[in-house]
């Protein structure tokens, strides 16, 4: 078996060899380095370099998680004015996160298992206060809320998921949507601000259109 694998590798095109060696390298980095760095780092998980990380001791990564090039995971433990946080950022098993994604957590962020997050996605559980006149926004307090993404979701490219959002199971979010609020299981969400445009009906067995709410 090992001989066949070696023979197959030697016969493969150069591009395939480079890809396999790159993945092997990142797996080794995970086993040797990331397993000690994160609060939890599951078997088979792979992080492409470079990865920007803040407070990895507050981040749990499940099994077989794939995180693309240039992603940022940020668990924020403090902010201006003495604010202190105990962040819990959990990425469950078999999640796939595309390149240049950013996930910010000051309270609690959960990415459910088998969820796919495309490239250039932003997910957060905190907002900047702005009400104090004459005080720069970056010096005002953070407002934190839990953000939960259910299992089997698909988050398309460029999506912004804002603080306090809760997505049910197998929600589909269209490209460049700006999402805030609670959304039920099995729905399609699009727009800025995002709304439900389709929802799965157990009675008909189909994904049915949801008419817009009259203004």
Ordered by where they begin, the domains of the chain are: 38-209 (2.160.10.10)
Residues in Cβ contact with 147 at an 8 Å cutoff, skipping those fewer than 6 apart: 105, 108, 109, 110, 123, 124, 125, 161, 162, 163, 164, 165, 166
Per-residue model confidence (pLDDT) at position 106: 96
What is the Cα Rg of the chain in Å? 20
Pairing of strands 122-124, 102-105: parallel
Angle at 169 between CA 38 and CA 71, to 5 degrees: 35
- Please, where are the H alpha helices in 30-103? 35-37
Q: Which residue has the tokens 């693309």?
A: 68
Tens-digit pLDDT profile for the chain (215 aa)? 655 555 555 555 666 566 666 677 677 777 778 888 999 999 999 988 778 888 999 999 999 999 999 999 999 999 988 899 999 999 999 999 999 999 999 999 999 999 999 999 999 999 999 999 999 999 999 999 999 999 999 999 999 999 999 999 999 999 999 999 999 999 999 999 999 999 998 889 999 998 877 66
SS3 38: coil
Whole-angstrom CA distances from 37 to 27, 59, 79, 91 are 14, 9, 23, 15
The DSSP-derived string for 102-142 is EEEESSEEEE-TT-EE-TT-EEESEEE---STTS-GGGSPE
pTM for the whole structure:
0.88
* Distance, CA of 86 to CA of 105 (rounded, Å): 9
* Distance, CA of 178 to CA of 83 (rounded, Å): 27
* Distance, CA of 175 to CA of 103 (rounded, Å): 17
């Amino acid at each position: 078996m090992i001989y066949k694998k070696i023979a197959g590798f030697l016969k493969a095109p150069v591009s395939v060899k480079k890809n396999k060696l790159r993945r092997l390298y990142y797996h080794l980095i995970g086993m040797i380095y990331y397993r000690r760095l994160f609060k939890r780092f599951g078997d088979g998980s792979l992080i492409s370099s470079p990865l920007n990380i803040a407070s990895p001791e507050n981040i749990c990564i499940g099994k077989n998680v794939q995180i693309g090039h240039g992603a940022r995971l940020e668990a924020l433990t403090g902010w201006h004015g003495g604010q202190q946080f105990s962040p819990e950022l959990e990425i469950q098993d078999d999640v796939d996160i595309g390149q240049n994604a950013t996930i910010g957590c000051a309270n609690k962020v959960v990415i459910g298992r088998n969820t796919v997050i495309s490239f250039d996605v932003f997910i957060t559980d905190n907002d900047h206060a702005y009400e104090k006149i004459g005080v720069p926004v970056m010096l005002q307090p953070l407002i934190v809320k839990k953000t939960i993404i259910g299992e089997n979701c698909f988050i398309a490219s460029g999506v912004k998921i804002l603080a306090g959002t809760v997505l049910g199971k197998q929600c589909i979010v269209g490209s460049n949507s700006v999402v805030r609020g609670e959304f039920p299981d099995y729905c399609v969400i699009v727009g800025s601000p995002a709304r439900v445009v389709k929802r799965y009906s157990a009675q008909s067995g189909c994904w049915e259109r949801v008419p817009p709410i009259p203004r």
